[in-house]
Structure 1
């Protein structure tokens, strides 16, 4: 009896968004690819695309030999666990696909194995080729495929992050789960929207945009929630427009949420107008209240309040002079806002327009880093960072302080 290995993958650039799958059937004895298939399947979710890839792989194997045994390998733990019968299938769009997949071969002739993403690059590349072809209004063609390069360790560039979820430094991506996003001719980079966890479905992905410059920003003055609430400067408005164009080009943001302060609301309004979205205000995203230090430079605070400043730098429980907010208090507030937003935007990509301290808090908490790490992060005006939050409570930092969109 012949034995085949089916490797399959699927991806969605937006979750739901433009999606595709890829699959390759190998001879189990030699590892030789026997046939491959890929297809752009329109707008759907990452998990549906992965199931479509599985179904296509099983059907391709059946066409080669309907009496064969098949070993399926995928980097989607969700699909593997559900098809193995260990997890229930609840999603209405996946139930019929799973039923069809089980009907291709008798159940006793199919086994399933989860593999790391780096071992599934052939199918991953096929899925991306299908999505790229769909973006061009074309059908995927095997004659132009380069997926075998990844299978043989050829000249294709590796996916440095090892997954379809994430963002390569200096750039943003548009995949949620499944296959890594690519533009034609580019190296693969990751994320849903900027996201994706193949094991637990699509995460809530927060694209964190620091507001554009205000008149206080170039002077490096403390500007929190207890000061004069400055508006954007002309430079800050230009930065907001540049961020809006970059985000519009990626096309993955599904909602916009902003801090209540003027500079963030103005930045959010510029971006939301470009994306055709509304802005929701979240009080928990406001900047720390710096008390009597508002409007002062670090040097001026050092000169006027040296003891208070030293205590603040050494202890997250210490408050700025004049009854400001401690970093410990800010951390509690940001964690509450995070949990609220993760619940509200599960499986979606949302732009949070906020401030230096909240963004650093999101990153610090995601990394489990100590409080002093806040002083070791540089965060530029109108920069983009990305953190994804998964169903099991874990988080992954995908990008930090990207300012590439601000360059002329």
Structure 2
């Protein structure tokens, strides 16, 4: 029976003083990433996939000091995205969230979660052998994965908030329903 474990980690705290909207990590963010790296050092990952945004890249760079010889690469599947309903699916979301969703910037909008659904389909599968991978990503991406594993209503990713460098683990096992092993674990912080 093959098993897939995905460790989903939110990037470290972003530097809010940076002039660039895609600023890197703050000093606290680097410390958070180092603590997460020490926590994950004993896990045998086959690879690390990270968002291409600076805060995720820099988090991964810090983690790499603890995850020796683990291949890592930028991955568009775990880029910062916000699922927003298309006009035809607005009725699937509570009214109270619609004005907030309407204000999501164009570069972050993922209509009907098409890209995020693709990410879950890509990563959330089992193969012939066990697999353990780390995804360094963003809050809403993690919330989407968890809501899909739990088979919640389409909008329920809202409010599943992960702290910076919080750790979520989801599992797929042949012949069984997927499960959330841990959500937003912060014991290392």
Please give the range of the TM-score, normalised by the shorter of the 2 chains. Answer: 0.7 to 0.9
Match of 2:49 among 242, 257, 275: 257
- TM-score normalised according to structure 2 size: 0.79
Match of 1:279 among 72, 76, 80: 72
The 2-side partners of 1:210 and 1:244 are apart by 12
The runs of 4+ residues in structure 1 deviating greater than 6 Å are none
Correspondence for 1:239: 32
Structure 1 residue 339: deviation in Å? Answer: 2.2
Structure 1 pair 358/289, CA: closer, same or farther in 2 (3 Å)? closer
Over aligned residues, Cα RMSD in angstroms? Answer: 2.9
The 2-side partners of 1:233 and 1:321 are apart by 24
The 2-side partners of 1:383 and 1:322 are apart by 25
Correspondence for 1:394: 177
The 1-side partners of 2:57 and 2:187 are apart by 22
Structure 1 pair 357/204, CA: closer, same or farther in 2 (3 Å)? same
**Which protein is bigger by CA-based radius of gyration?**
1
Match of 2:22 among 221, 224, 229: 229
Structure with more contact order per residue of length (Cα contacts < 8 Å, sep ≥ 6): 2
Partner of 1:333, secondary structure, is: helix
Partner of 1:274, secondary structure, is: coil
Contact 1:213-1:232 at 8 Å conserved across structures? yes
Contact 1:312-1:319 at 8 Å conserved across structures? no
Structure 1 unaligned segments of length 5 or more: list them: 1-200, 218-226, 291-309
Structure 1 pair 371/326, CA: closer, same or farther in 2 (3 Å)? farther
Note if 1:213 corresponds to 2:26: no
The 2-side partners of 1:320 and 1:231 are apart by 24
Correspondence for 1:150: none
Matched residues, number: 175
Contact 2:143-2:160 at 8 Å conserved across structures? yes
The 2-side partners of 1:375 and 1:289 are apart by 10
Contact 1:269-1:279 at 8 Å conserved across structures? no
Structure 1 pair 319/271, CA: closer, same or farther in 2 (3 Å)? same
- TM-score normalised according to structure 1 size: 0.39
Correspondence for 2:133: 350
